[in-house]
Amino acid sequence: MRDVYVAGIGITTFTRLEFALSEIASYASMMALKDAGITEVDQVYVANMGSPRVNHQTALASAVVDSLSLTPAGAAAIENGPASGGSAIKAGFQAVASGMDDVVLVAGVERMREVNGLEATDFIATLTHPIAEYIYGVTLPAHAAMFTRLYMDKYGVTERHLAMVGVKNQNAALNNEWAHLQQEITLEGILDSPEAMTNNPYVAEPLRFFDACPVSDGGAAIILVSEEKAKELGRPLIKLSGVGQATDTHAVHEREEPTDLLAVRKAAADAFAMAGLTPEDVDVAELHDAFTILEIAESEEVGFFPKGEGHIALEKGETALGGKIPINVGGGLKGRGHPVGATGVAQAWEIVTQLRGDGEARQVEDAEVGFTCNFGGFGNNVVCLVFEKEA
């Protein structure tokens, strides 16, 4: 298996975008191509969850490869719910690792402005079990709320811990000019003041408004290349050294212990095993905080903290910039935004930015090993990646 390196990265602002879906993907891709200093690729993978429905567009990869004048390169789109981005990076990794392709562009994109309010909630809910959950009206906020309640009962997590994740990540986004949310929040404003119930109402009790990521449009891109090509291009050598993916039961109620996220545990373990590293080696991590509780739970399942102790590490500041293992220093999904298909690629974009030392106000000192956890469905399909800076 050949080694795989990152030669270029690009991103759009995550916000409400007027551009066509393929143009959003192309904008991020052009930045990545320019960053890498290349104009030709062998293969394009586009991560997207809902364009057939939301944008009335299929054959999306054909539109992207044409917009970028990258024909006759091969191109295909990958749909894997919120884990689409990580899954597309995995497919690109295998394309280069196999020796069939030397240069693969992976672009993630979602334009959700066509669906609003309840339709956005319905669209996201289509990633639940079609017969056992979706048809009974289960939504992602409902799933997250039930999970949170169980987690609170079992491990002592409180609404204050959830709010601490929200404040940490949304305020971290102030250091990331590409992030969707650019408004500072405080524990007082969203939890401790008389206005908190108005500022931060329950969405799905015990989860409140500021516990959920926003609905965003946006794109992100990454260029994966062979070792030979990476050296020829002369960019900092960032190796994609670990790739792990795992699935869990599609219906959450079928899990023996619903507070366990076994797919996260296995995907992370597989990624670390491939890289020959452990969670202790990680300097900076991106976890999939679509809801605040998920950052706490994932920080345990990937191995940063013992099960049930993620909220204690959070209290101690261990997951903040300057802490033992800084998580989501670019805002995470909560602050950066969550254009679904783009998210897994945007996580990689942040980690590569950190390993290159380009994080500016949010730079983690001496970051040499980075980690991403891209979480699909309610933990039914997870992709974890390990990136390493080489001297």
Burial class for 219, CB neighbours closer than 10 Å (0-12, 13-18, 19+): buried
Considering the complex, what minimum distance in angstroms separates the CB of residue 213 from its own copies? 17
347 counts as binding its own copies under rule CB under 8 A: no
Cα separation of 18 and 24, whole Å?
Answer: 9
Nearer to its own copies, 144 or 172 (CB): 144
Answer for which of 59, 118, 197, 361 binds its own copies (CB under 8 A) is 59
Report the run of H or E that residue 297 belongs to, with start and end: helix 292-301
Nearer to its own copies, 79 or 318 (CB): 79
Report the run of H or E that residue 198 belongs to, with start and end: helix 196-199
Q: Total residues at the site for its own copies (CB under 8 A)?
A: 75
CB proximity list for 55: less than 8 A, separation 6 or greater:
21, 111, 114
143 counts as binding its own copies under rule CB under 8 A: no
Verify cis geometry, omega within 30 degrees of 0, for the bond prior to 82: no
Answer for which of 39, 71, 158, 186 binds its own copies (CB under 8 A) is 71
251 counts as binding its own copies under rule CB under 8 A: yes
DSSP strand pairing (43-47 vs 103-110)? parallel
The helix/strand/coil state of 98 is coil
239 counts as binding its own copies under rule CB under 8 A: no
66 counts as binding its own copies under rule CB under 8 A: yes
348 counts as binding its own copies under rule CB under 8 A: no
Residues 83-112: x/- map of binding to its own copies (CB under 8 A)? xx--xx-xx-xxx-xxxxx-----------
In the numeric block, the tokens 């039914």 are attached to 380
Considering the complex, what minimum distance in angstroms separates the CB of residue 174 from its own copies? 32
DSSP strand pairing (218-226 vs 207-208)? unpaired
Span from 15-23, 207-215, 230-238, 327-335 in contact with its own copies (CB under 8 A): 15-23
227 counts as binding its own copies under rule CB under 8 A: no
- 207 φ, ψ (degrees, to nearest 5): -90, 135
Cα separation of 387 and 351, whole Å?
Answer: 7
Residues 259-288: x/- map of binding to its own copies (CB under 8 A)? ---xx--x----------------------
The helix/strand/coil state of 137 is coil
Verify cis geometry, omega within 30 degrees of 0, for the bond prior to 206: yes
Nearer to its own copies, 60 or 213 (CB): 60
Nearer to its own copies, 131 or 361 (CB): 131
Nearer to its own copies, 97 or 196 (CB): 97
Answer for which of 7, 33, 49, 284 binds its own copies (CB under 8 A) is 49
